[in-house]
């Protein structure tokens, strides 16, 4: 099986291809309701997680709320 080479939160990471945003979150064990996803600087809204397919070289940011003032 081929691998996608992504940059996720600043670090190189390979995931099995093909992968959607939903697939990446599942691969990483993340709850989609707790994470906001950006692919190549574009926010991917939750309803689109299943349909957006990641491509080799994509830059992904996964953010959430942490303690702050």
Handedness of CA 51, 4, 40, 33 (dihedral sign): positive
As a whole number of angstroms, the distance between CA 23 and CA 27 comes to 6
Residue among 22 and 28 whose Cβ is closer to another protein: 28
Interactions with another protein, residue window 3-62 (CB under 8 A): 8-11, 13, 28-31, 34-36, 38, 41, 43, 45-46, 61-62
Q: What is the residue whose two structure tokens read 């491509």?
A: 55
Answer yes or no whether residue 69 interacts with another protein by CB under 8 A: yes
Given a contact cutoff of 8 angstroms between Cβ atoms, the answer to whether 9 and 61 are in contact is yes
Binding positions for another protein, rule: CB under 8 A: 8-11, 13, 28-31, 34-36, 38, 41, 43, 45-46, 61-69
């Amino acid at each position: 099986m081929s691998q996608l080479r992504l940059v996720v939160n600043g670090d190189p990471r390979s995931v099995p291809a093909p992968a959607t945003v939903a697939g990446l979150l599942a691969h990483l064990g993340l709850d989609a309701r707790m994470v906001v996803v950006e692919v190549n600087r574009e926010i991917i809204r939750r309803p689109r997680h299943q349909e957006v397919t990641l491509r080799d070289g994509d830059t992904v940011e996964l953010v959430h709320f942490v303690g702050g003032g």
